[in-house]
């Protein structure tokens, strides 16, 4: 993984030797080719956060996977990914970001093949965890390389805007690509499709991406690496398991407690360590900490809403996985188009107004979504709410990311990128967990209360209360007249939960927006 440095980092910029183009290419052209490679790599690891969701019904049948197994097929990737981001961002800084990117892509491709060939749910969970290792190598390297290649502040900000747009695009297009592949091929295709894309990214990195690393090669902070990874892993595990086993369960409370204890140890160690993994004093920089909070709030709302809307489209409105995925395309396009515009706005009016306004716009989109009903027309309130929150996301992520990266020296770009990426993953994971938990806390009792007069056996009521998907299975076993009434009640209970979950997402982004207006400086301190 180690790369040799071809030039020195000095005066906040790369030495010319570190950005030498191919003989036939101009340096400016080379930079944008580098960005294309980075965005392709980024798209691949981010899309795997959501592409697997549409395959869960198929995996349940083909691999005989229960609810817990299905949950961990999704979450194993997120858990390992989030836990290792900070550590691997530092290792990329130390040993070479290009090497980290290439090694991560190779590992991602190989483990994607393992996932596709899995014969049991346990094998697939293990393969997804290994994919998370590859993703943790790739993600921070992409942004760190971008910061080192684009040395002009305005040009860098524009590149970060494109990078952020690709992130939102990948999250939204996951269900589309997954739905298309499932409609035409077997479930393993959603993993095998990664291989040719990874090969292109590896070759592109070899040709275009320059070598860079932190020239400071002092002692490795192994204790910081271990405690940070363990703390994040336990915290993410507690967030994932909380809705399933209960937020006050012994295992969740212990995991959360140990996570906070390890985080405290990490902070105390980093403050005393001569060569820390992360200078924790950077969080006293409001531009850094407020922007990190904004990213977390945005992805809290985004992932929480995607969790709800994909179920709504398939389970309530009856769309196929592909049809549901295609209906998220406007969301993806609105985000991708808005992100670069957000950077231009940031230069004119400052980060505070753009980032804070973006979060408030997301909140408005979630409030609008809370008015969606079971029979709502897609081309009405559904589409409108998605476009509003997508524009808000595009306004938020680019300028917030630029604020985070601008607060750190370029030599520490990998660690800065890892902090940015970790806040995204933690925010998204927490969004799914809390929004899902709130949804379940409304759906189950509402359904039980509604169907009680029907006199159905308790086991039937219990099965239907687990999820809307289970209710659709139960309804097939009921007489026609009872079935129609039952499904109507289930849909009504689902929409009550959908409304409450959307309001939680709206509250999170509203609080985040207010915090930005209070604490995020408008511009970099000169």
Q: What is the mean pLDDT of residues 303-332?
A: 82
Q: Both 298 and 184 in a single domain?
A: no
Spatial distance between the Cα atoms of 277 and 521, rounded to a whole number of angstroms: 26
Same domain? For 293 and 204 the reply is no
Question: Higher pLDDT residue, 471 or 334?
Answer: 334
Most confident of 77-91, 377-391, 435-449: 377-391
Mean pLDDT of the region 158-183: 79
pLDDT confidence tier of residue 360, bands split at 50, 70 and 90: very high
Q: Give the pLDDT score at 467.
A: 66
- 108 phi/psi in degrees, rounded to 5: -65, -40
Contact assessment for residue 496 and residue 446, using Cβ atoms and an 8 Å cutoff: yes
What is residue 26's predicted lDDT score, i.e. its pLDDT?
38
Mean pLDDT score of the chain, rounded to an integer?
Answer: 80
Q: For residues 273 and 373, which has the higher predicted lDDT (pLDDT)?
A: 373
Contacts of 496 (CB under 8 A, 6+ apart): 442, 443, 446
Are residues 192 and 50 both part of a single domain?
A: yes
The values of phi and psi at residue 170, to 5°, are: -65, -45
The dihedrals phi and psi of 167, each to the nearest 5 degrees, come to: -60, -50
In a domain, 279, yes or no: no
Query: What's the CA gap between 294 and 396, in Å, rounded?
Result: 7
Structural domain total, the chain: 2
Q: What is the pLDDT of residue 82?
A: 81
Is residue 464 predicted with pLDDT exceeding 80? no
Helix pair 97-116, 121-149: axis angle to 10 deg: 160
Q: How confident is the model over 435-449, as a mean pLDDT?
A: 81
pLDDT band at 238; cut points 50, 70, 90: confident
First to last CA, the chain: 36
Residue 477: exposure state from Cβ atoms within 10 A (0-12, 13-18, ≥19) = exposed
Residue 3 confidence (pLDDT): 41
Quick check: 58 pLDDT over 70? yes
Beta-carbon contacts of 485 under 8 Å, excluding residues fewer than 6 positions away, are: 454
CATH label of the domain that carries residue 376: 1.20.1250.20
- Rounded CA gap, 314 and 323, in Å? 9
271 pLDDT above the threshold of 90: no
Domain boundary residue among 184, 218, 252? 218
Domain region containing 87: 1-218
Average pLDDT over residues 44-68: 76
Residues 6+ apart with CB under 8 A from 478: 456, 486
Residue 254 lies in a domain: no
Question: What pLDDT does 511 receive?
Answer: 95
Choose the weakest-confidence range: 5-9, 267-271, 505-509.
5-9
Are 319 and 259 in contact by the 8 Å Cβ rule? The answer is no
For residues 37 and 162, is the Cβ–Cβ distance under 8 A?
no
Q: Does residue 232 form part of some domain? A: no
Residue 391 token pair: 């524009």
* Predicted local distance difference test score (pLDDT) of residue 219: 67
Q: Are residues 201 and 290 in the same domain?
A: no
| 248 inside domain | no
Residue 9 DSSP symbol: E
Q: What is the pTM of this model?
A: 0.78
Residue 230 lies in a domain: no
Domain boundary among 167, 184, 218: 218
Question: Would residue 227 count as lying in a domain?
Answer: no
What pLDDT, on a 0 to 100 scale, did the predictor assign at position 79? 82
9 beta partners: 14
Q: Are residues 396 and 492 in the same domain?
A: yes
Residue 508 has pLDDT above 50, yes or no: yes
- Within-domain flag for 253: no
The rounded distance, in Å, linking the Cα atoms of 229 and 154 is 34
Q: What angle do CA 31, 37, 42 make, to 5 degrees?
A: 120
Do 309 and 198 sit in the same domain of this protein? no
pLDDT of residue 332: 80
The pLDDT score that the predictor gives to residue 19 is: 37
Residue after which a domain boundary falls, among 218, 248, 270: 218
Domain assignment present for residue 277? The answer is no
| Contact between 336 and 165 (Cβ < 8 Å) | yes
- Contact indicator for 116, 192 with CB cutoff of 8 Å: yes
Q: Are residues 204 and 340 in the same domain?
A: no
Query: Rounded to whole angstroms, how far apart are CA atoms 141 and 134?
Result: 11
Q: Residue 331: left (phi > 0), alpha (psi -120 to 50), or beta?
A: alpha
Residue 114 pLDDT > 90: yes
Q: What is the DSSP string of 142-155?
A: HHHHHHHH--SHHH
pLDDT band at residue 107 under the 50/70/90 scheme: very high
**Pair 375, 521 in one domain:** yes
Alpha-carbon gap, residue 427 to 441, rounded angstroms: 21
User: Which band of pLDDT confidence, cut at 50, 70 and 90, is reported for residue 67?
Assistant: low
213 and 300 both lie in a single domain: no
Helices (H) and strands (E) in the chain, counts: 19, 2
Strands (E), 73-140: none
* H/E segment holding residue 10: strand 9-10
Q: Are residues 445 and 526 in the same domain?
A: yes
Least confident of 125-129, 188-192, 489-493: 489-493
Please count the residues of the chain.
Answer: 526
Same domain, 100 and 20: yes
193 in the same domain as 61: yes
The pLDDT, as a whole number, for residue 524 is: 58
Q: Is the pLDDT of residue 197 over 70?
A: yes
104 pLDDT more than 90: yes
């Amino acid at each position: 993984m180690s790369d040799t440095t071809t030039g020195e980092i000095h005066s906040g910029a790369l030495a010319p030797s570190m950005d030498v183009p191919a003989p036939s290419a101009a340096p400016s052209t080379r930079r944008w080719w580098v960005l294309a490679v980075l965005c392709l790599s980024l798209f691949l690891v981010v899309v795997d956060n959501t592409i697997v969701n549409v395959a869960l019904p198929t995996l349940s049948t083909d691999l005989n996977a229960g609810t817990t197994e299905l949950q961990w097929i999704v979450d194993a990737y997120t858990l390992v990914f989030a836990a290792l981001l900070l550590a691997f961002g530092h290792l990329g800084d130390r040993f070479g970001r290009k090497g980290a990117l290439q090694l991560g892509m190779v590992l991602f491709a190989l483990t994607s093949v393992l996932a596709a060939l899995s014969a049991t749910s346990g094998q697939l969970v293990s393969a997804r965890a290994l994919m998370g290792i590859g993703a943790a190598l790739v993600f921070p390297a992409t942004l760190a390389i971008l910061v080192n290649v684009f040395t002009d502040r305005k040009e860098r900000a524009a590149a970060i805007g494109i990078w952020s747009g690709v992130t939102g695009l990948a999250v939204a297009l996951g269900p589309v690509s997954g739905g298309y592949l499932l409609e035409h091929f077997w479930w393993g295709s959603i993993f095998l499709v990664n291989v040719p894309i990874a090969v292109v990214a590896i070759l592109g990195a070899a040709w275009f991406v320059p070598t860079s690393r932190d020239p400071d090669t002092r002692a490795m902070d192994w204790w910081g690496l271990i405690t940070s990874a363990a703390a994040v892993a336990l915290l993410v595990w507690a967030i994932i398991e909380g809705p399933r086993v209960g937020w006050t369960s012994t295992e969740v409370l212990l995991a959360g407690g140990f996570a906070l204890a390890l985080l405290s140890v990490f902070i105390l160690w980093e403050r005393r360590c001569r060569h820390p993994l992360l200078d924790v004093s950077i969080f006293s920089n409001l531009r850094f900490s407020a922007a990190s909070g904004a990213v977390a709030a945005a992805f809290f709302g985004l992932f929480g809403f995607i969790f709800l809307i994909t179920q709504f489209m398939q389970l309530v409105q009856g769309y196929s996985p592909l049809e549901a995925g295609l209906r998220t395309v406007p969301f993806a396009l609105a985000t991708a188009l808005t992100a670069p515009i957000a950077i231009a706005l940031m230069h004119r009016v400052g980060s505070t107004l753009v980032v804070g306004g973006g979060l408030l716009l997301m909140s408005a989109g979630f409030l609008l979504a809370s008015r969606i009903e079971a029979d709502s027309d897609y081309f009405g309130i559904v589409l409108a709410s998605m476009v509003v929150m997508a524009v808000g996301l595009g306004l938020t992520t680019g300028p917030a990311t630029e604020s985070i990266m601008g607060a750190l020296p370029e030599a520490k770009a990998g660690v800065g990128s890892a902090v940015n990426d970790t806040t995204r993953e933690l925010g998204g994971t927490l969004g799914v967990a809390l929004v899902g938990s709130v949804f379940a806390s409304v759906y189950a009792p509402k359904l039980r209360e509604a169907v009680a007069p029907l006199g159905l056996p308790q086991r039937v009521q219990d099965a239907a209360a687990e999820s809307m998907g289970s209710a659709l299975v139960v309804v097939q076993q009921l007489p026609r007249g009872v079935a129609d009434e039952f499904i109507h009640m289930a849909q009504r209970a689902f929409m009550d939960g959908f409304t409450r979950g959307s309001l939680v997402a709206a509250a999170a982004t509203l609080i985040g927006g207010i915090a930005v207006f209070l604490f995020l400086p408008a511009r970099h301190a000169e």
